[in-house]
Amino acid sequence: MKVIHTITDLEELLQQHRQEGKTIGFVPTMGALHQGHITLVKRCVEENDICVVSIFVNPTQFNNREDLRLYPRTPEKDYELLESTGADIVFVPSEEEIYPAPDTRVFDFGLLDKVMEGAYRPGHFNGVAQVVSKLFAFVKPHKAYFGEKDFQQLAIVREMVKQQELPVEIIGVPIVREPSGLALSSRNQRLSEEQREHAAEIYRIMQESTLLAGEQSPDQIVRFVTGSVNNVPGLRVEYFGIVDGDSLQPVSSWQDSGNIVGAIAVYCGDVRLIDNIRYR
């Protein structure tokens, strides 16, 4: 496994592999890797000749500077994990390497980035699009892998690829959970044991809500989930919405779409957690 820090070295190495006719898969990450990331990497290794993983904590997608400062960074542990998965190349650039000058591009995703995460984290998805488009330009992957926990991000990346007509297949990989049901996240490292127990209630309550969906409307389910999670000690719902899985717009009836997802953001103490569940 090679660890590379510059765009020039990365592009030279990948050009050699392309000339040999090898397929290139890519997993962009911000490090602090867990089994959710490793699932993405293993899938990438299985489906491509060369697996590239990037580790870069992208400042342009943080609208909260304190969240950026506190974001966990564990490079040596990350390298060990990636070595064990069979990853071929780890790209670990500096901020100056990715942004030699400020990126002033503004993307237009219509209504996709105006709801849920986009409503509460203004500029977040523009920052995601900036860095992912840059990474795609450097790596030029045939396939790229993203976790479905970041459901809205996956939709944004797919839209960006479509708009820019990029020759990359975007593959969503199902959420990986702890035995308790808590969705794996790098931010879980900041939770105490008691907080982890409370946070596990988020998914349990959403699961319970899927059983009620036949009898209650989406609006009633939204009220049930929001109220139930807020009743758990230390949890505070920022939003919970039931949306069309393609447009990300709220649905008022279960007949509005054949692809309906519930998406939630919850503060557990000062740690912000997101999750989602499919209704149909």
Residue type, 52: V
Q: Which of 53, 50, 42, 273 is nearest to 173 (CA)?
A: 42
DSSP for residue 60: G
How many Å separate Cα 3 from the centre of its chain? 23
CB 54 within 8 A of CB 87: no
Residue 21, SS3? coil
Distance CA 213, CA 229 (A): 17
Q: Which residue among the candidates 5, 34, 37, 198 is catalytic per the annotation?
A: 37
124 catalytic per annotation: no
Distance CA 145, CA 228 (A): 33
Question: For strand 271-278 and strand 260-268, is the pairing parallel, antiparallel, or unpaired?
Answer: antiparallel
Cα end-to-end span (Å), the chain:
41
| Structural element, H or E, at residue 275 | strand 271-278
Q: Which of 219, 230, 233 is nearest to 262 (CA)?
A: 219
Distance CA 279, CA 207 (A): 9
CB 268 within 8 A of CB 198: yes
Residue type, 239: Y
Distance CA 237, CA 260 (A): 20
Catalogue the active-site residues: 37
